[in-house]
Amino acid sequence: VVARQSPGSSGINAEYGVRHCTPMENVIRHEVRHYNKLLDVIHTSSKTMAMCLQGEEAMTEDMDKMYQSILDNTMPIIWQEYTGACSKLLAAWVVDFSRKIAFMRYWLDLKTEGTVANQLFGLEYHELLAESKEGVV
C-alpha cells in the first residue's frame, strides 16, 4: 500500500510536495522507506509462493519454511529479516501492519493539506487514526 503510494524518498517528494524536512517528516520518510522494503519482500515472496503452489516454480526450502509459517500463523523468517523478531500471531501482525500503513498515508495526506496538529508527536498512530475517523483531528 505504501509501496504503491510512495516508491521511495523521491516518491514522497514527487507525490506529496515536501520541500523541507522537519524532524517528523524525517521520521516518516525513514519509516516509509523501511515499510517499502518490507512490502517489496512480502509481495515478492508471496508471488513466488503462489507460483510454487500452482506448480509453476519449484518449491525451495525457504518457500517451504514460509508456507509452513503461514499455516502455523507465525511470521515467516524471510519477513523477520525486515521486521525483527515478532511474537504476535501472523494474523494480528497483518492487522497491526495495515493500521500502521493507514496511519502513515493519513499523516502524509494531512501534511500535504497543511493541517497537521502540533499534538501529533504525543499520539500513537492508532489514537490519531481513531480520532481522524471521529472527525476530531
Residue-level pLDDT at 119: 40
Residue-level pLDDT at 43: 94
Residue-level pLDDT at 113: 54
> Who's near 78: CB < 8 A, 6+ residues apart?
41, 45, 62, 65, 66
**How far is it, in rounded angstroms, from Cα 71 to Cα 84?**
20
Provide the residue-wise pLDDT of the chain in tens; the chain has 137 residues.
Answer: 333 433 343 334 445 554 566 777 777 778 888 888 999 999 999 999 999 999 999 999 999 999 999 999 999 999 988 887 778 899 999 999 888 888 878 877 776 555 554 444 444 555 555 555 555 44
Residue 56 grid cell: 509453476
Phi/psi of residue 19, each to 5°? -105, -30
Q: Give the orientation angle of helix 61-71 with respect to helix 23-53, to 10 degrees.
A: 100
Residue-level pLDDT at 66: 95
Residue-level pLDDT at 2: 39
Residue-level pLDDT at 130: 59
Burial class, 37, CB count within 10 angstroms (exposed 0-12 / middle 13-18 / buried 19+): middle
